[in-house]
Amino acid sequence: MLPYKILVVDDSIFMRKMITDLISEDTQFQVIGTAKNGKEAVNMVKTLKPDAITMDIEMPEMNGLDALKIIMDVQPTPVIMLSSLTQDGARETIVALERGAVDFVGKPSGSISLDLHRVRELLLEKLHIAVKTNVMKFRSNPIWTSPISRSKAVPRVEELPKVNKGNTASEVNFFKTTPVAPLFSNQQVSSQVQQIVAIGTSTGGPRALHQVISHIPGHLPAPVVIVQHMPPNFTKSLAQRLNSVSELHVVEAEEGMILQNGHAYVAPGGFHMTVARNGPGAYKIHISKEEARGGHRPSVDILFESLLPMKELKRHIVLMTGMGADGAKGMLALKNAGAVTTIAESEETCIVYGMPRAAVELNCVMHVLAQQEIASKLTQVVCK
C-alpha cells in the first residue's frame, strides 16, 4: 500500500523540520510538502491533494483558522491542528475543531523538549485516525445555524484576541462577550433535581457538543454532566465556547459544585468527575486525580458509574463520537440499573465511530441517532 500523503504547515522552519522528521518515522506516512503560512497551504492542498494536513494556528499572511475554513470549503481534507498549550491556544483550537479539524496536538515547548516522544506518539496516532476520516460529513452537518445560539443574547464585543501575527479570527469573539439574559431564565427551573443527562465523547466531540448543547433549551428540568477527553485549559475554553452558543449555563466543573437544572458541567481536563448525593433532591460534583481509566482522565465510565446508585433519578445517558470504548460498559450498567434513556450517535455523523459502536455492540442503546437529532430527543424525554 502506498504511504499516506501529508502536508505540514507551520511558519517556523525549525517546527516544519521537526514535525516532518516525526511523521517520517512512520513508514505509512510520506510528507509531500511543507507550507509556511495558510495562503501557501490552501494553494498546495489544491495541487498536491494530501490525505491529511498538520496545521499551525498562528502564522503570517493567513492564519491556520482561516486556512482551515477555506480548505474545508474548497478541498475538504482531514486536518490536525498544532496548538500551543496556552489559554489563548486552547480557545483558538476549540474554534478550529468546530470548523472541521479532526483533532489537535500540543506543540513541543521548545527546541529541546522533554515531551517530544509524547508529541510524536500523539501526532502519529491522530494522523492514523485523520487519514481514515470522511470530512465531507462536516458539509452535510453544519453547526453555525443553531437557532438557540443566535437567540441567546446580543453580546457586547470587547477587543478581539490576536490569533496570528497580523490577522484575527471572527469566531474568537465568542470568548470575549458579555451576554444579556437568555430567552429562558434558569430562575424558572425548579431547583429540585429529579433527572440528569450524562454525555460522553472524545475525538470529534467539541463539534458534536456544539451541535447538541446549542439546541437544548435553557428551561431543561435537569442538569447536564459532560466528559470530553481533553487536556487541562482546553476543557475550560470548551465550556466557555458552549456557554456562548447555548441557553444552558455551561461551566467547567469544580469540586463541590451543586448541580442545578438548566446548567451543564464539563469535566476538567486531567481530572475525573463524579456525581454524589448532597441531601434530598440535591447532588454535587466531585473532582479527583485518581488513576486514569483506560488511559483517560476524565473517564466517561467513571462518571457513568457514579450514577449507578442514584435510582431515584431519571437518568438519560448519551455516547457520541470518539475512539475506543470509554463509556460503553458504564452505559450498559446504567441501562441494567434502570436508566430511562440511552442514546448513541449514529455512524453516519460520527467522526470516529468507536465509543458509540462499543455501546451498540453491548446491546445497551435504546436510540441510535444522527448528531443533529440528539438534542430534540433529549428535550423530548426530559421535558415530557
CA distance 210 to 149: 9
pLDDT at residue 146 greater than cutoff 70: no
The contacts of residue 116 (CB under 8 Å, 6+ apart) are 22, 108
Confidence of residue 109 (pLDDT cuts 50, 70, 90): low
Instruction: Please tell me the distance from the alpha carbon of residue 210 to that of residue 215, in angstroms, as a whole number.
Output: 8
**Mean of per-residue pLDDT scores for the chain:** 87
Helix axes 87-99, 205-213, angle to 10 degrees: 80
Q: Which residue blocks in 228-383 are alpha helix, DSSP H?
A: 234-245, 300-306, 328-336, 355-361, 371-383
326 among known catalytic residues? yes
pLDDT of 76 reads: 94
What are the two backbone dihedrals, phi and then psi, of residue 219, each rounded to the nearest 5 degrees? -90, 15
254 with 267: CB under 8 angstroms? no
Residue 339, Cβ density class (10 Å: 0-12 exposed, 13-18 middle, ≥19 buried): buried
Judged against a pLDDT cut of 90, whether residue 341 lies above it is answered with yes
Assess whether the previous peptide bond of 217 is cis (omega < 30° from 0). no
Residue 200 has pLDDT above 70, yes or no: yes
CA atoms within 13 A on the CB side of 154: 0
In the 8-state DSSP scheme, what is residue 112? S
Whether 202 is a known active-site residue: answer yes
Share of the chain above pLDDT 70, in %: 83
Residues composing the chain:
384
Please say whether the beta carbons of 364 and 330 come within 8 A.
no
Our answer to whether residue 128 is catalytic in this structure is no
Averaged pLDDT for residues 293-316: 97
pLDDT (0 to 100) of residue 256: 97
* Closest listed residue to residue 63, CA positions, set 161, 145, 203, 193: 161
Q: Which triple of cell numbers denotes residue 13?
A: 522552519
pLDDT at position 204 over 80: yes
Q: Which residue is catalytic, options 51, 66, 88, 326?
A: 326
Task: Please tell me the predicted confidence (pLDDT) of residue 110.
Answer: 52
Q: Does the pLDDT value for residue 178 go beyond 70? A: no
Q: Which of these is catalytic: 210, 229, 272, 316?
A: 229
What are the CA-CA distances from residue 4 to residues 1, 29, 208 (Å)?
A: 9, 5, 27
| pLDDT-derived band at 237, boundaries 50, 70, 90 | very high
Confidence of residue 89 (pLDDT cuts 50, 70, 90): confident
On the question of pLDDT at 179 being above 70, the answer is no
| Candidate list 149, 202, 214, 246, residue with the active-site label | 202
Tens-digit pLDDT profile for residues 159-175:
333 334 344 444 444 44
Q: Check whether 210 has a pLDDT greater than 70.
A: yes
For residues 32-42, average pLDDT: 98
- Going across the sheet that includes 195-201, the strands are 249-252, 263-266, 224-228, 195-201, 314-319, 341-345, 367-369
Average pLDDT over every residue of 241-267 = 97
Q: Which residue has the cell 456525581?
A: 275
The reported pTM is 0.86
Give me the pLDDT at residue 218, please.
96
